[in-house]
Structure 1
Amino acid sequence: MKRWGFIGLMVLAACMPDESEQRDAQRNVCPGITAGEVPHEPRATWKVTSDEDGREPVIIRYRQAQGVTAARVHQLGGQVTASFRHAPALAARVTPEERLELALDPSVESIEPDAELRATGLGALPLGALTRAGLGASGTGDYTGKLQRVQALEVWDQNGDGVPDPGAVTGEGVRVCVIDSGMDMNHPELRDAVVAARDFLDADDDATDGEEGHWGTGHGTHVAGIIAARAGMGGQGGPVLTESGLMGVAPGAQLLVARVLDMNGRTNMSVVLEAVEWCMSQGARVASLSLAGGLATFTSEDIFKAALDGGMLVVAAAGNEGQFLVSYPASDPSVLAVGAVDDLDRRVYFSSHGERLALMAPGVDVLSTFPRGLGSFAQLELGRARPASRSLLYAPTGNTWGALVDCGHGGTLDSCGEDSSCDGFIAYVHPHPYVRPERAMVNVMKQGARAVIFASELMEGGAEILSVPQQGAWVPAVTITQAASTVMGRQLGATTRLTLRPVDYAYMSGTSMATPYVSGIAALLFSARPGATPAQVRAALQSSAKDLGPAGYDTEHGHGLVQARGALEALIGAMP
């Protein structure tokens, strides 16, 4: 969350229009237009939010395993939400008074926080970051470039025909557990990969991403596709993708789907730890965690160590805070931490780093599976030019056109000036750190905008645009590269056409996207050598990584960019 300092607030106050200016601005509002979000937030899971009676989620750790009992918690009025097989602990929701009583119990060692964790995936990158992070002006939708950079194709598609070579290592026989938001269980390129699923929020076996007839974030579907999408199964991705669709890093791997993130992409540590233990019980060799938050506790360290000792490699996202501190649980000693690089193999500015960082993988503008029909591919036409663009997640689809009008920052109801028209136009909006993208969209829509194009401009503390809210009335919206912004700036007033086609895929960025690349490659290694231990697989991944910074390990890039073929050769060499 961005925190505004005193100076920033003074600047805002100075820039705010006075009352008479606000009244004049109302004259620019076109009649009959509904714009913006319905005042409703998707329901968060009960495990994350505080109850009305003031209960908070905690983990009660006992001194001895035989001392673990839910009876005392129930006797005090607390609500037990989880128990663990690999740590002497219970998760519960308690009032402050109940917590104090439990802390005084001689059998209780400590009361640990049941911290909140969040998904580490971004929608469209922060404005301007597509160019800053190395995406070329062509904006190609070819997904195989990233597979080539991590050498996946050199493992199972050496002839380059887009089909796994006969007898090649594809991850077959290996179970990868995706601990995330659940997924679209009927996505054509994923449904055949799933062998078991569990929803830890609703306590059932339907791990669909969403609830009550509404889709969730799509995060888990995107992550799962990076790992194990099967090509040519009927996904709708034209014109960017051919009928063959796309393929994951380990297209033969089997997926275990554990839903832990709620509709807002949040969860608690206890829910994740429950899922980790379930993954172990289901025979997973790899667990992929594209989420972060909280701090290590004795209980979390016990369970992650048990996973490692039990033969499961846990891979987690380093975090998107861009700080010199790898987020938890990636920073756990038993977990492999993954950061993100751009298409030029540079650490992306948002990727956290530090002493616990192990590997890097592609994490910018990654194309993967998304809940059916909820993704969209954008095509922007300006005369004969087709500037590169990316649709915002959940932006309405369709075909619209109009004159291109510069609407500045979109911060007021007269930002589009005299060039705006209630007959409709395409708004060209420049990002501003003190104008939320949603607010800018509402303002220009009320002035008659049929669609919004966000320019590529970065500034200190610049605004982020991740997605269009899933509720409310909105118009198609895209973000563009810096090269495209240069073109647009010269064509103000020209007729512009914007088409958003509904597809079963989406572009996302974040360490969330980098993590499943490493998870998928780990599955390839376990597939080639089923008797390998997590320690052997981790050693092979790290020793074969492509060095990106100073020679050897460094805290900016860890051991370097993960390399599938190199890791496979290293593992085979270590254990013939």
Structure 2
Amino acid sequence: MKRWGLMGLLALAACGPDDSSDKGAQSQVCPNIIAGSLSEPVETRHVRAPLTDDDGRQRVIIRYRNQGVMATARVHQVGGQVTATFRSTPAVAARMSLQEQRALLAEDPTVESIEQDQEWRALAPATAPIHPILASVARGATPREFTPGLRKVQAHEVWDVDGDGLPDPDRPTGAGVRLCVIDSGLDLEHPELRDAVVAGRDLLEDDDDPSDFSSGHGWGTGHGTHVAGIIAARPGHGGRGSPQLSDTGVMGVAPGVELIITRVLDIHGRTHMSFVLAAVEYCAEQGAKVISLSLGGGVPSKTTFEVFAAAHAQGILVVAASGNSNAQRVDYPASDPHVLAVGAVDSLDQRATFSSGGSQLALVAPGVDVLSTFPRGQGAFSTVDVRDTRPLSRSLLYAPIENKWGKLVDCGGGATLDSCKGSTCSGFVAYVRHGEVPTDMAMVNVMKQGARAVIFANSSWEGGVDILTMPRRGQWVPAVTITQAGGTVLHRMLGELARISMSPADYAYMSGTSMAAPYVSGVAALLFSARPSATPDQVKHALLSSAKDLGPSGHDEDFGHGLVQARGALEVLTQLP
């Protein structure tokens, strides 16, 4: 799930004097600097954001008695607009004026209730410290396409018994199983996923093109492409990923699974409950055995309960991310009794700092610094070089992909317009201790002082580096994050020439329970592939009873039943009657 809480800050050129009395700071910000995020163009909001109803109408769910007979006609009679009619529950989604039209419907004896069509969100990428030693997929690793997360959940032990790095014939790879990803859409031409998609639907625009790209508006978040790659990236079909990846790319947990792609998230990572419920019904229509949900944030209702119950009754296992708020309760719909809730762990099997837990948490899976597919050319791999010192680094998502160099200048926490001591308007590389102010605010402050690139050093966790995100639109400079240890070394090199190099990639690192849920979804697909007649309850039992116990013995609120284990789950499933 995706946590988007980034500050929307518009910072235009500022040329006035600086009030700081610190003689080490320049007396004024640099002229003609435009820095900060920009609001979405009007045309983009209208086309791609389903939550903006300029006519003043609001979105509601109308539940009817008697199986909703004539429900659609009655909504039209009072002037409302039906946007979805559900089959698994007697309800319709509609846009209507709450004052007049709702009052008329409320008087109708066939109406059971009128409820808000809740806003749900993708809640990743989350900020999470990663361990530098175990974080990267090493160049030349054997087999090359196996990521640390894939190994951690034992996926390769199910379909690569001979250890040659490729799926073995007649082993379960997800082949014959349809898995539905309900998310932001997909880069349908990504080489790792192009052959995986068998059906798709865009619920926002009501067409059969679930692309995460819109002509004239560019790419969406890339969230759905990242999720889909964790599940289904094909062997030997790599995209652009040098120098960190070979031309074979990465491999998904279930590299033979058939993907159904449903787009419900707009370019801001938002949606309405009705779109998700309609997507669940579409997935069922298309024969899905597994549904993967890396979104949520609503509250349960009778309508949502009935839709997820119907999916379970049709033989579908629904998997959802637990949430990124570090709460001791999982978000909805992960908390639904017919949904499997998945939290996130890091490379050392510790609970991710953002991962929500609680009594309803079922499993955990890798969710920190996860490498997966991303819209072509929109991801980036980075290198930081100061006097031949190259600390582990990660480029900021959605920041410019450029190469920059300059004197390394200490900008503290980037909290003020005089934070960069020894800055110059001719350009420099800002060294910023991350965490004192929001990332985008620190970026604006140092850019106004002349920074042409930014290095964020993690200052709050020993040995880690954060995955950070910039607002999607705006004027920014290239930026990376590094470990605290790397930051300590670079801090001794202030004044030296620093180089930041970035190469466009068809891949990206992301963190969040959004990344953990598809690992479990992929493992579930492997089990259905091995035993097509299995029920959702049988697959769930195999997943839970075979999980690697990470916390106190048995189920606990930090790890659920433990880390999902594909080989162990398959062994349990094959022993069931």
TM-score, normalised to structure 1's length? 0.91
Matches of 2:501 and 2:163, distance apart in 1: 32
Cα 1:2–1:243 shift into 2, 3 Å: closer
Q: Indicate yes or no: 2:200 matched with 1:197.
A: yes
Q: In 2, distance between residues paired with 1:237 and 1:437?
A: 26
Q: What corresponds to 1:33 in structure 2?
A: 33
Query: Cα offset for 1:48?
Result: 4.1
Q: Describe the shift of the 1:335–1:526 C-alpha distance in structure 2 as closer, same or farther (beyond 3 A).
A: same
Does residue 439 of the first structure (1) align with residue 435 of the second (2)? no
Provide the rounded CA distance (Å) in 1 between the counterparts of 2:22 and 2:346: 46
Asked if the contact 1:62/1:68 (under 8 Å) is kept, the reply is: no
The one-letter code of the counterpart of 1:63 is: R
- 1:43 pairs with 2:39: no
Offset of 1:392 from its aligned partner?
Answer: 0.5
CA contact under 8 A between 2:377 and 2:506: conserved in structure 1? yes
Q: Supply the AA of the counterpart residue of 2:234.
A: R
Taking a change above 3 Å as real, the CA distance of residues 121 and 438 of structure 1, as seen in their structure-2 partners, is same
Pair 1:550-2:552 in alignment? yes
The alpha-carbon distance between structure 1 residues 45 and 62, as it changes in their structure 2 partners (threshold 3 A), is farther
Post-superposition Cα deviations, 1:302-348, rounded to whole Å, max 9, x if no partner, equal 11011001011110011111111111001001111101111111111
Q: 1:428–1:52: structure 2 CA closer, same or farther, 3 Å change rule?
A: same
Partners of 1:139 and 1:47 lie apart in 2 by 35
Q: 1:493/1:26 Cα in 2 relative to 1: closer, same or farther (>3 Å)?
A: closer
Q: Which whole-Å deviations, capped at 9, do the CAs of 1:462-492 have from their partners, x for residues lacking one?
A: xx97322332321110111122122122211
Match of 1:344 in 2: 348
Greater displacement, 42-51 / 183-192: 42-51
Task: Write the deviation string for residues 508-546 of structure 1: whole angstroms up to 9, x where unpaired.
Answer: 000000000000000000000000011110110001000
Q: Is the partner of 2:489 in helix, strand or coil?
A: helix
Report if aligned partners of 1:548, 1:561 keep a CA contact under 8 Å in 2: yes
8 Å contact from structure 1 (residues 181, 259) kept in 2 = yes
User: How has the CA–CA distance of structure 1 residues 167 and 221 changed in structure 2, closer, same or farther, with 3 Å as cutoff?
Assistant: same
1:452 aligns with 2:473: no
* Structural RMSD (CA): 2.4
Of 416, 425, 429 in structure 1, the residue corresponding to residue 428 of structure 2 is: 425
Are 2:76 and 1:74 equivalent residues in the alignment?
yes
Q: 1:327 aligns with which of 313, 327, 331?
A: 331
Structure 1 gap ranges (5+):
4-16
Shift of 1:40: 2.8
Deviations 1:194-252 (A, max 9, x none): 00110000001111113243110000000000000013224011111111110000000
Q: Find 1:104's aligned residue among 102, 107, 110.
A: 107
For 2:287, the aligned partner's letter is G
**Which range is displaced more, 408-417 or 340-349?**
408-417
Are 1:391 and 1:477, in contact at CA under 8 Å, matched by a contact in 2?
Answer: yes
1:328-379 deviations in whole A, cap 9, x for unaligned? 0010011111011111111112111111111110000000000000000011
CA contact (8 A) 1:44 1:263 kept: no
Question: Partner of 2:141 in structure 1?
Answer: none
- Aligned AA for 1:573? Q
Q: Match of 1:10?
A: none
- CA–CA distance in structure 1, aligned partners of residues 391 and 96 of structure 2: 55
For 2:45, what is the secondary structure of its paired residue? coil
* Counterpart residue number, 2:185: 182
Indicate the residue corresponding to 2:89 in structure 1: 87
* 1:23–1:145 distance in 2 versus 1, CA, 3 Å: closer
- Specify which of 502, 511, 520 is matched with residue 518 of structure 1: 520
After superposition, residues 126-145 of structure 1 pair within 5 angstroms as 126=128, 129-130=129-130, 135-137=131-133, 139-142=135-138, 144-145=147-148
CA-to-partner distance for each residue in 1:387-430, whole Å, 9 max, x for gaps?
Answer: 0110011221122211110011222222112x112222110112
TM-score by length of 2: 0.91
CA contact (8 A) 1:86 1:303 kept: yes
- 2:248 is matched with 244
Q: Which residue of 2 aligns with 1:568?
A: 570
Verify: 1:217 aligned to 2:213, yes or no: no
Question: Aligned letter for 1:232?
Answer: G
Letter in 2 for 1:140: S
Q: CA deviation at 1:26?
A: 8.5
Distance 1:309 1:223 in 2: 25
Instruction: Kindly state the Cα deviation for residue 2 of structure 1 after the two structures are TM-superposed.
Output: 12
Aligned mates of 1:496, 1:150 — CA distance in 2: 38
The 5 A counterparts of 1:142-541 are 142=138, 144-213=147-216, 214-417=218-421, 419-433=422-436, 435-458=437-460, 466-541=468-543
Q: After the TM superposition, which of the residue ranges 524-533 and 142-151 deviates more from structure 2?
A: 142-151
Change (3 A) 1:151 1:20: closer
- Higher alpha-carbon deviation: 551-560 or 84-93: 551-560
* Deviation (angstroms), 1:46: 7.5
Please tell me the residue identity of whatever aligns with 1:342.
D
Could you tell me whether the CA contact under 8 Å between 1:391 and 1:478 is conserved in 2? yes
Distance in 2 separating the partners of 1:18 and 1:2: 34
Report how far residue 103 of structure 1 moved. 2.1
Count matched residues: 550
Rounded to whole Å, the distance in 2 between the matches of 1:487 and 1:219 is: 34
Q: 1:119 maps to what in 2?
A: 122
The separation in 1 between residues aligned to 2:410 and 2:149, in whole angstroms, is: 35
Residue pair 1:398, 1:476 contacting (<8 A) in 2 also: yes
**What SS is found at the alignment partner of 2:384?**
strand
In 2: Cα distance, 1:148 partner to 1:2 partner: 29
Closer, same or farther: CA 275–45 of 1 in aligned 2, 3 Å: farther
Q: Residue 198 of structure 1 contacts residue 205 of structure 1 at CA under 8 Å; is this kept in 2?
A: yes
